[in-house]
Amino acid sequence: MKTHSTDIAIRGFHIDVFGHTNNARYLEFMEIARWDALGPIIATGFFATRNLGFVIVNININYRAASFVNDCIEVQTSVKKIGNKSIVVYHLVKNKKSNQIICDADVTFVIMDLEARKAVQLEGELRTVFEEL
């Protein structure tokens, strides 16, 4: 996957009692960025017609700096690794103005057969979809 970029404006409801963006919000921002990156493929119905869904199985996140109300952040998203049944997506979150790194994360997910409720092998056209991102 080429690096996909998503800009997000920090709003008042993202801020916690300490005056900075609540840590859990970054997970939401990364999810928005993943949906943006995968949006064109999702829109084709590729996953829906095959009864497939995404399931997060692991998140490793490193917080490095704070962001504040009215900041604009950039979430860069790229595929880090494609395994037999899992995909690791890397997110880098930066302050758009200062270029300071706010956090980064590896997010591991599987593609699940929604009827069987089991992870599927990443092979054939399914694997190709992620290799071509």
Read off the pLDDT of residues 55-97 as tens digits, 9 standing for 90 and up: 999 999 999 999 999 999 999 999 999 999 999 999 999 999 9
For position 56, which CATH number holds?
A: 3.10.129.10
Segments forming the whole domain that contains residue 62: 4-131
Model confidence, pTM = 0.93
Does the annotation count 16 as an active-site position?
yes
Q: What is the spatial distance between Cα 72 and Cα 76, in angstroms, rounded to a whole number?
A: 13
Q: How does DSSP classify residue 100? A: -
56 CA to centre of own chain: 10
Radius of gyration from C-alpha coordinates of the chain? 16
Q: Are strands 72-82 and 4-9 parallel, antiparallel or unpaired?
A: antiparallel
| pLDDT tier for residue 132 given thresholds of 50, 70 and 90 | confident
Residue 129 token pair? 């979809």
Total domains in the fold of the chain: 1
Q: What is the spatial distance between Cα 28 and Cα 90, in angstroms, rounded to a whole number?
A: 14
Find the catalytic residue in 7, 16, 71, 113: 16
Q: Smallest Cα–Cα separation from 132: which of 46, 55, 50, 8? A: 46
